[in-house]
Chains A and B, each alone.
Chain A
Amino acid sequence: SQTIHQWPATLVQPVGSPLSLECTVEGTSNPNLYWYRQAAGRGLQLLFYSVGIGQISSEVPQNLSASRPQDRQFILSSKKLLLSDSGFYLCAWSVLGGSTEAFFGQGTRLTVV
């Protein structure tokens, strides 16, 4: 069966520090991968998605970047964190096709101080 791993679960980082969040998927090949951010009262906002290795699409301009160095690995990064980067970050994967649901990781709670 397919599983998705996301780490760390919680992270407290100072303003201006770098960020790296990792997400890996097991049990499937060539998944679509996504990074979402959840802010209180604002639902989930799609940040990045990827349909293959090295193929990244950004949905909103921001202080973050994403990379997909391997088929089932998706990394969210920042060179210098801002206070506004605080939030709950969720990685997800899906197979190709609009009728299929996305499967989510357990999320990372990022607090920038």
Chain B
Amino acid sequence: AQSVTQLGSHVSVSEGALVLLRCNYSSSVPPYLFWYVQYPNQGLQLLLKYTSAATLVKGINGFEAEFKKSETSFHLTKPSAHMSDAAEYFCAVTLDTGFQKLVFGTGTRLLVSP
């Protein structure tokens, strides 16, 4: 069965610094991978997704992620953090089974300090 592991329940960065949120997946077949963002007491919003096209995926709000099969990773990055990026981020995986059933990681809370 597929799964994702997010290393670090909390990540702290300064405004303007690089953001790196880690996600490793486990899947017996090529997966589809997603990053979602959640602001307090709100639903999840899609940041970006990997669907076996380009391995470097660009998303909203300046985020991007690179699919590395050899490392089974799909880390999320942003060159320069903004205060508004403070939120919880979830990595998720699903398989092309014709039905989309997401398996989520436990989430990483991003803290941005001035």
Instruction: State yes or no: do A and B come from one complex.
Output: yes
Q: Which residue numbers of A lie inside 8 Å of B, CB to CB?
A: 6, 9, 32, 34, 36, 41-46, 49, 51, 88, 90, 92, 94, 96-107, 109
Q: What residues of chain A lie closer than 8 Å to B104, measured between beta carbons?
A: 36, 43-45
Q: A41-B106, A43-B104, A43-B106 known; A98 and B42 CB under 8 Å?
A: no
Q: A41-B106, A43-B106, A44-B104 known; A98 and B97 CB under 8 Å?
A: yes
Please name 15 pairs of A and B residues whose Cβ atoms are closer than 8 Å in the assembled complex, sorted by A.
A9-B41, A36-B104, A44-B90, A44-B104, A46-B102, A90-B43, A94-B100, A98-B99, A98-B100, A99-B32, A99-B52, A100-B100, A104-B44, A106-B42, A109-B41
Q: A49-B101, A98-B99, A99-B32 known; A43 and B107 CB under 8 Å?
A: yes
* A43 and B93 alpha carbons, distance in the complex (Å): 13
Q: A43-B104, A97-B100, A100-B100 known; A107 and B41 CB under 8 Å?
A: yes
The answer, yes or no, to whether B78 is at the interface (CB within 8 Å) is no
Contact in complex: A51, B106 (CB < 8 Å): no
